[in-house]
Structure 1
Amino acid sequence: MAAVLALSSLAALAAHAAETFAPDDWKHRQTISIDTSADGVELKQGASLVPLALRLHSGNFAFAEARADGSDLRVTAADGKTPLRFHLEKYDATNELAVLWVQQPKLTPSAKTDALQLFWGNDKAAPASDAKGSYDAAQTLVLHFSDNGPLRDATGNANHPRDVQPATVAGPLGGAIRLDGSAPLIVPAAPSLRLIAANGFSFSAWIKPGDVQSGELFHQGTGSQSLAIALAGGKLTVTFNGKTISSSANIAPGLWQHVAVTLAGKRVLLYVNGAEAGSGELASGDLGGDISLAAGYRGDLDELTLAATARPADYIKALYGSQQPDSPMLAPADDDEGESVSYFSILLGAVTVDGWIVIGILMLMAVISVAVMIGKTRFLVTTQRANRHFLERFRAESDALLDPDTEAARAIANGGEVSASPIYRIYATGIAEMRQRFAARGRAGGLSDASLNIIRASIDAAMVRESQRLNSQMVLLTIAISGGPFLGLLGTVVGVMITFAAIAAAGDVNVNSIAPGIAAALVATVAGLAVAIPALFGYNWLAIQIKNVSADTQVFADEFLTRAAELHSR
C-alpha cells in the first residue's frame, strides 16, 4: 500500500510539472546529447543531480530568435516535457555568448542515451532561471565570478564572500577573477559551511596559476586543527594536522586546469582535470569558522565550489567534462526536433543492477515458457494425428482388432504411425491383458467378470500414466503465470526503495530526479507481466487440447471394454 501511495504521489508531481510547461508554446528547440561513453567523457558508475554547464554561442544557438536577456530559455529532460532546473551564469546576446547551468537528474554510465532539450522563442514566457534550485542540498558554496559587483554565492545558502571586487578576466566558462596573492577571499562562518568529517567534503575549482610553487586555494580552521588545499612544489596538496598528501600529477603554470579534492572520513582523494591524481588518509575532524580562499595564490580562478559531502569520482569527472571548452560530453544533436532519444532507451538506461537481476530471471522464465509451449504444441499435434489414424483403423476393423490372436491385432503393433497415440497404448495394454487371460484359461472360456475387472484396472493405470505424460511440464507455465508478476513487483518495490534512498542521501526532492528511477523500477513489473500473459494464454490453450485428448482416451477405454465384453464374455 505504501508503494502504491508513493507512486500515486509521484504521478501527481509529474502531472503538475507537465502542466507548468507546454512545449508547443515555444517556437524553437534543440536536443543536447550527453555522451558518457568512451567517445565522450566516459563514466563507469554514473552520477546524479550533476550541474552541467551548457555553453551557447553563435555556432550552436540562434541568439536572434530568443529574448535579449535569455529569459525565455527553458530546459527539459530528453522527453521534451519534464522541466529541469537551470540558471544563467552569463547571457550576452550582443557578443552571442552564454553559459547555462542545468541540474541533470541522472547520468547513465557508458551510454549515449541521455539528452537535454533546450527551448527558446516565447515572448510570453516568464523568467525561469533558478540558481538556488540548480544545486542539490549538499552544495554549500558556488562562486561563478561572473557577477557584476560583489561576489555572490549562487546556491541558496547565501555564503557570500565579504565585499571584494577583484579584477575580472575571461575564464574557461564565463568570467574569472585574477588574484595577486595579497588579499584572500573570506567567506564568513556559517552552519552550512561547517565541515563534518563523517558527512564528507568536496572542493573543486578551475585554476590558471602564475606561480605553482605556493599559494592556498582553501583553508578552514586554526593552527594544526585546520584543513588546507594548496599548491606547493608544482603539486596540488592537502594538509591536515601537519600531514600532507600531494598529487602525482603536476600543476602547469599559465594553463587552465580543473582541480578537486574530496574527503570521506579519513580518506582523501585528489583530482586533476577529472582524473584521480592522488589519495591517502588524514586524521581529519570537524571544522568550523571562516573560510579563506586563494590566500597567497597568484593567478586566475574560476568556478569554485564547496559541498558538504564527498562527491563520487564520476561526479567530479562529469563536472570537468561538461565544463571543458568544446566539451566532448555535451553536443547539439543533428535533429533539432529532439526525437533522437526514445523513451525505451531512457527507461533501460535508468534500470538499476537489482532491476536487471530480476529482469534476467524473468527473461529465463520467458525462454523456458516459450520452449514448453512450442514443445507441448508439437507433442499434442503429433498425438492427435496418431489418435485419428488409430481410431480410423479401429472403426474399420474393430472385431479383428479386439481379438488378440488375429493378424490385424498383431500387425497394428508394428505400425510406427500409431506409436505416438495414447489411445493405441491404452488398446495395447488391454489386448496384452486379454492375451494373458486366453493363454492361462483358453479361448473357450471367454472372459470372466474377474478377468474384465483386471483388464479395466490395467487400462485405468495406463490412463493415469498417459495423463501424467500429457500434463508433464505444464507446471512450468503455472510457475511463470503466478511467479512472473510477483517477481516483477519485487523488482519494482526494490527499485522504488533505492530511488527514495538516493533522494534522501542527496537531500533534494523534485520530480526530475524521482521520475527516471520510478519509471525504470516499473520496467520490472512490465517484464513480469510480459512473461505471465503469454504463458497464461498458452497454458489455457494447451489445457483445452490436453482435456480433449484425455476425453478421447476415456471414451475409447469404455468402448474397448464394452466391445471386449460383448465379444468374449461367457
Structure 2
Amino acid sequence: MKNAAAGLALGFAAAMTLFPSTANAWWNDEWQLRKKINIDVSATGANITDPIGTVPTLVRLHVGNFRFSLAKDDGSDLRFVASDDKTPLKHHVEKWDSLLGEALVWVSLPNVAPGAKSEFWIYYGNKKAAATNDAKGTYDADTALVYHFNERGTPAIDSSVWANNAQSVGQPADGALIGTGLRLDGRNIVTLPASPSLGMADSAPFTWSAWIKPAAPQPNSALFSRRDGANALIIGLDNGAPFVEVSNAAGTQRSGAGAPVAANSWHHLAVVAASGTVTVYLDGTAYATLAASLPALTGVARLGGDSTPPAVATPVAPAVDPVTPATDGTVPAVEAAPAPVAAAAMAGFVGDIDELQIGKIARSAGFIKFAAVEQGSEPAKLIALSADEETASWMSGYVAVILKSVTIDGWVVIGLLMVMAVASWIVTFDRASYLKKQANANDRFMKSFRKLADNLTALDRGEVDESAAVLGSRLSAEEGQMLRASSLYRIYHVGAEQISHRFGNSAKILRLSGPSIAAIRAALDGAFVKESQRLNKMMVVLTISISGGPFLGLLGTVVGVMITFAAIAESGDVNVNAIAPGIAAALVATVAGLLVAIPALFAYNYLVTRIGELTTDMQVFIDEFVTKMAEAYSPEAVVDHRQAAE
C-alpha cells in the first residue's frame, strides 16, 4: 500500500509538469495571483467603431471567475495593471462581499482603441497589501458627478473629484443592475447641489447618462430636471418614450418620440449636447436628436421630478438647415423637425435608476456604447476574464484552476468521498489478506485431513481458540496455529465435536445412525453459514462505495453548478470564462465519486471471486467429511471393524 501511494504521488507530480506554467512577466512578485481581462470592441465583440478614449470600466467578480478566499477580506489587495504589465490603473471598489462571493470594481482604462482588442491585468493574493482605492482618480476631471447609489440612510456620495454630493436622501433599490440603485416613487425628489462644477454656460457641451428601469408607462414623467428662470433642461419619458426638452427665453423644444421602452426592464439612457445638437442615446444607439443648444443653468438639479415651470412660455420653432437641391434639380426629402411645445408641469418618474453620471464635455458615441454594453446585462460581448495565473507553485496550470475554484459544498462532498475511499481501501486490504490466509491454511489442513481413515476426530484438539494443543501431534506448534485459522478446520471441529459428543468416553467402536449423520450434517451446514458470513464481513462497504460514490459525486456537481449559475445571474456577467471554472470545479465531485467507485468495483469483483472459491472448498469439504463419516461409522463399517478385531 505504501509503495502504491508513493507511485501515485510520483505519477501525479510528473503529470503536473505537463500543464502550462505561468507567464514570465509579473508586475510584482508580492502578489500571488493574477488574471487577464480581455476587452473586445472589434467586430467579433461589441463592434464599436467610434472613438472611445479613456473610459471607466466595470469589472464584475463572482465565485465563477474569482477566488475570494485567496484575496483579502475587504479586497484591498486588488491591483489593476495595463497590458504592458508595468502601469498601474486607477480603480475603486463599489461593492465587496467575500462571504457571498460578489464584487463590483471600477477601473479607468486609458485610450481604448475602437474596433480592436485589448487587455489588462488584475492582481490579488497579497495579505500585506494596503488599500489603494481611488474613486476620484478613476474618473477624469471632465466628469462632474458620479452616483453609484450604494448608500443607505445618507445622501448619495459623488465619486468624482468634484464632491457634488446629493442634498437629500433617497430610497435604496436592492438588486439593481449594478449593486444597489435608487428607487423613485414620483413624489420624493433627490436634489443635486448648485455647485460651480455643475454650472453650465450657454451652449456648453454636456453629457448625462444613467441606467433606468421604469415601473410603468407615464405621460410626461421627468427623470432629471434643471431650471434657472426661463432656462430649463428636462430628461424624461413620455409613455415610455425617452425625450429631452430644452427651454430658454424664446420657448421650449422637445426631441421627437421613438419606440417606447419596456416597463420593468433596465435600459441605458444618455443625453449628449454639442455644437447645437442634442442627441438622445438608448442602450448605446442614437434614439433621437434635437437641433438646439443648452441654455445657461446654474441652479439646483432634481432627480425623479420637476419644479413648477414658468406660467407663460412662448413656443419657438426649431431652426431648419437650408436644403441644397440635388444635381438633377430635385429637392431631397427632409425629416420634419420636432414641433415646438409649451412648457408644462411634469409628473415624477416612477421606477429605479442606477449609475448616474454627468460630464462637462460631450462624450463620443463610442464612449456611450462602451458603457451601455459593458455595464449592461450582456457584458460578455465586451469583457471577459481568463483563468488565473500563479507565481511559481507546485500546483499550477489547469489542475490548480479547477481545484481552487471548488466551493465549500464541493469540498464537503469530496471529503465524504475521501472517507468512503479510505474505508474501501481498508476493507479491500483486510479482506484480501484474510482470504489469502484462509486459502493457505485450508490447503495445509486438507493435506492432513485426507490422511485420516477410521478416526475422523484425530485432528481435533479442543476449542478453536485454544492455542496449546497441536493437531494430532503430527504438526509443529506453528503449523497447528496456522491450521486453527482455517475455515475448514473450524467446520471440521464442529463435526468432530458432534461425533465425540455421541460416542462419549466409550472406547468401543460405535455406529452412527442415519438421523445422527443428518444431524451432524446440519451442524456442519450451520458452521458453513457462519464461515460464509466471516468471508463476506465488511463487503457491504465496497458495495456502498460502488453504488453511493457516483451518486454522491453527482450531488456535489449539481449543487456546484447551481451555485455557479446563481452567482453569474446575480453579477450579470455571462461569458465562458466566468462559467467554465465553476463548472469544471463542480465536475471535480463527480470525478472524485468515480475514483471511489471504480477501484471499489474492481476490488469487489476480485474478492467475490476469491470468496466463491473458498465457499466452494467448504461445500466440498462438508460433502467429503459426511461421506467419510458415513463410511467409518455406519453399521456395516462397525461390523467389519469387530470382525477384524476378532
TM-score bracket, shorter-length normalisation: 0.5 to 0.7
Corresponding position of 2:122: 118
1:21-51 residue CA offsets vs partner (Å, 9 max, x unmatched): 9521100000000000122211113311200
Corresponding position of 1:487: none
Change (3 A) 1:46 1:190: same
Corresponding position of 1:224: 230
Query: Aligned partners of 1:51, 1:298: CA distance in 2, in Å?
Result: 28
SS in 1 for 2:210: strand
Give the alignment of 1:200-349 within 5 angstroms: 200-213=205-218, 214-241=220-247, 242-295=252-305, 296-327=348-379, 328-334=381-387, 336=389
Contact kept? 2:52, 2:111, Cα under 8 Å = yes
Change (3 A) 1:149 1:81: farther
Corresponding position of 2:183: 178
- TM-score, length-scaled by structure 1: 0.54
Contact kept? 2:241, 2:261, Cα under 8 Å = yes
Structure 1 residue 306 displacement after superposition: 0.5
Query: Aligned partners of 1:56, 1:70: CA distance in 2, in Å?
Result: 11
Contact kept? 1:31, 1:337, Cα under 8 Å = no
Contact kept? 1:23, 1:80, Cα under 8 Å = no
Instruction: Select which of 87, 106, 113 maps to 1:108.
Output: 113
Query: Aligned partners of 2:390, 2:366: CA distance in 1, in Å?
Result: 30
Structure 1 residue 287 displacement after superposition: 1.2
Unaligned runs of 5+ in 1: 1-20, 339-570
Query: Aligned partners of 2:286, 2:264: CA distance in 1, in Å?
Result: 22
Query: Aligned partners of 1:306, 1:279: CA distance in 2, in Å?
Result: 19
The residue identity in structure 2 corresponding to 1:105 is: P
Corresponding position of 1:514: none
Change (3 A) 1:194 1:309: same
Query: Aligned partners of 2:45, 2:110: CA distance in 1, in Å?
Result: 19
Contact kept? 1:87, 1:100, Cα under 8 Å = yes
SS in 1 for 2:368: helix
Instruction: Select which of 141, 146, 150 maps to 2:145.
Output: 141
Structure 1 residue 147 displacement after superposition: 2.1
SS in 2 for 1:279: strand
Structure 1 residue 170 displacement after superposition: 1.1
Corresponding position of 1:152: 157
SS in 1 for 2:255: strand
Contact kept? 2:51, 2:364, Cα under 8 Å = no
Corresponding position of 1:92: 97
Query: Aligned partners of 1:174, 1:262: CA distance in 2, in Å?
Result: 25
Corresponding position of 1:66: 71
1:70-107 residue CA offsets vs partner (Å, 9 max, x unmatched): 01001011122210000000011111111100111011
Query: Aligned partners of 1:318, 1:267: CA distance in 2, in Å?
Result: 21
Structure 1 residue 212 displacement after superposition: 2.8
Corresponding position of 1:485: none
Identity %: 37
- Aligned alpha-carbon RMSD (Å): 1.8
Query: Aligned partners of 1:77, 1:300: CA distance in 2, in Å?
Result: 34
Instruction: Select which of 130, 133, 139 maps to 2:134.
Output: 130
Change (3 A) 1:66 1:235: same
Change (3 A) 1:72 1:192: same
Change (3 A) 1:194 1:64: same
Q: Choose 1 or 2 for highest CA Rg.
A: 2
The residue identity in structure 1 corresponding to 2:129 is: A
Query: Aligned partners of 2:257, 2:181: CA distance in 1, in Å?
Result: 24
The residue identity in structure 1 corresponding to 2:358 is: L
Contact kept? 1:265, 1:284, Cα under 8 Å = no
Query: Aligned partners of 2:234, 2:180: CA distance in 1, in Å?
Result: 25
Corresponding position of 1:431: none
Q: Which moved more, 1:203-212 or 1:246-255?
A: 246-255
The residue identity in structure 2 corresponding to 1:287 is: L
SS in 2 for 1:282: coil
Contact kept? 1:249, 1:272, Cα under 8 Å = no
Change (3 A) 1:267 1:335: same
1:161 and 2:166 correspond: yes
1:510-567 residue CA offsets vs partner (Å, 9 max, x unmatched): xxxxxxxxxxxxxxxxxxxxxxxxxxxxxxxxxxxxxxxxxxxxxxxxxxxxxxxxxx
Change (3 A) 1:115 1:311: same
1:116-137 residue CA offsets vs partner (Å, 9 max, x unmatched): 1001011111101100110001
* Structure 1 runs, 4 residues or longer, greater than 3 Å off: 334-338
1:53 and 2:58 correspond: yes
The residue identity in structure 1 corresponding to 2:254 is: T
1:146-167 residue CA offsets vs partner (Å, 9 max, x unmatched): 1244111111211111130413
Contact kept? 1:201, 1:306, Cα under 8 Å = yes
Contact kept? 1:235, 1:246, Cα under 8 Å = no
Contact kept? 1:30, 1:333, Cα under 8 Å = yes
Query: Aligned partners of 2:55, 2:257: CA distance in 1, in Å?
Result: 25
Aligned residue pairs, count: 317
The residue identity in structure 2 corresponding to 1:282 is: A
1:307-352 residue CA offsets vs partner (Å, 9 max, x unmatched): 01110000000111110234110101357479xxxxxxxxxxxxxx
By percentage of residues, which structure has more helix?
1
Change (3 A) 1:165 1:199: closer
SS in 1 for 2:161: coil
Change (3 A) 1:212 1:149: same
Query: Aligned partners of 2:274, 2:195: CA distance in 1, in Å?
Result: 21
Query: Aligned partners of 1:48, 1:72: CA distance in 2, in Å?
Result: 27
1:364-401 residue CA offsets vs partner (Å, 9 max, x unmatched): xxxxxxxxxxxxxxxxxxxxxxxxxxxxxxxxxxxxxx
Query: Aligned partners of 1:79, 1:33: CA distance in 2, in Å?
Result: 13
Structure 1 residue 198 displacement after superposition: 4.2
Structure 1 residue 263 displacement after superposition: 0.5
Contact kept? 1:199, 1:310, Cα under 8 Å = no
Give the alignment of 1:544-555 within 5 angstroms: none
The residue identity in structure 2 corresponding to 1:330 is: I
Query: Aligned partners of 1:331, 1:222: CA distance in 2, in Å?
Result: 45
Query: Aligned partners of 2:129, 2:289: CA distance in 1, in Å?
Result: 48
Change (3 A) 1:30 1:305: same
Contact kept? 1:167, 1:177, Cα under 8 Å = yes
The residue identity in structure 2 corresponding to 1:47 is: I
Query: Aligned partners of 1:111, 1:137: CA distance in 2, in Å?
Result: 26
Query: Aligned partners of 1:282, 1:189: CA distance in 2, in Å?
Result: 23
The residue identity in structure 2 corresponding to 1:68 is: D
Contact kept? 1:197, 1:265, Cα under 8 Å = no
